[in-house]
Amino acid sequence: MNNNKLTLNDNTVKLGGVNLDKNNFDIPKKFMVNFSKARFSKDGNKAILQALDAGTALVLEQAGVDLSQLKTITIEVYGGLDELQDYKDEEKEAVIECTNPQVRLLWDMGMSSWRGVKLVTDKITLSKGE
């Protein structure tokens, strides 16, 4: 991921590629993901996951709350895509950790505007000892 400084007169800056300051966000360490709902870009260079804060989700699940009503966090993953496709094929549900996630603006195709934020990472790992 590109962490180079931008020049103020650069009119080629793509807003979707600019990392926001992670210190401004409460980023969970672990995420619960249902891989059966994972999507892959047409060009095959990224996977898009819908995740929940694993700590919150596990507590609510134990309390009998329907997790399908919770608002998800979008995570774009750019590495290990073959493995992610296997997880999708197996309809795996797992707790994951992101390696050095970055926060970026999220484009809403339906609204044709920036709406919210997403996490972007090169790699995820299945969490050990949930």
Q: What is the domain partition of the chain in residue ranges? A: 27-126
44 or 48: which leads in pLDDT: 48
Whether 121 contacts 47, CB under 8 Å: no
Specify the DSSP element, H or E, that contains 65. none
Domain 27-126 has CATH 2.40.50: yes
pLDDT one-digit tens code per residue, 97-113 = 999 999 999 988 888 88
Closest CA relative to residue 16, chosen from 94, 114, 123? 114
Cα–Cα distance list, 17 to 4, 65, 97 (Å): 11, 36, 22
Model-wide pTM > 0.85: yes
Q: Which amino acid is at 62?
A: Q
Token digits of residue 43: 């060009």
